[in-house]
Amino acid sequence: MAVTNPFAAYQQNSVTTKSPGELTLMLYNGCIKFIGGAIEAVDHNNIEKRNECIQKAQKIIQEFMVTLNMDIALADNLMHLYDYLHQRLTKANIENDRMILEEALGMVTELRDTWKAAVQIERRKKFGAGHQA
């Protein structure tokens, strides 16, 4: 079968060859991107884009919630944090509130940075010190 769009094939391969940790990192980055887009939309009074970006960020948060392994002690705390984030994003959307979006952005960025550090540690264990996330 011939590949008609090499970029699409590259994108597909870049996702399918990622580890679960790297996929989670990609989701955090996507969530950050969408919250940033919502902030920009609030600044430009673009209600439709704000709503779309917030809903996309919420879908990522929901994915984190449904895939948590509740057998791990930390999972309960993460579930509460994700639930809080989801509620705050809903409120930001209803109230067109930039400050709430900034709060959510800070929290997700902190989660992403922590996750990135964990992925880097895991890579070093697996491959040695030369690999970075």
Dihedral angle, C-alpha 45, 48, 50, 51, nearest 10 °: 140
pLDDT in tens, 58-79: 999 999 999 999 999 999 999 9
SS3 of residue 44 by DSSP: coil
pLDDT of residue 10: 46
Question: What pLDDT does residue 56 have?
Answer: 98
**CATH pick for 22-125 out of 1.10.287.980, 1.20.120.340, 1.10.3720.10, 1.10.20.10:** 1.20.120.340
Residue 15 has pLDDT above 80, yes or no: no
pLDDT above 90 covers a percentage of the chain that reads 72
State the pTM of this model. Answer: 0.82
Do residues 132 and 34 touch, judged by C-beta distance below 8 A?
A: no
Whether the per-residue pLDDT at 12 is higher than 80: the answer is no
Q: pLDDT tens, 80-128?
A: 999 999 999 999 999 999 999 999 999 999 999 999 999 888 888 877 7
Residues 6+ apart with CB under 8 A from 62: 86
Look at the block and give the residue holding tokens 């879908």.
59
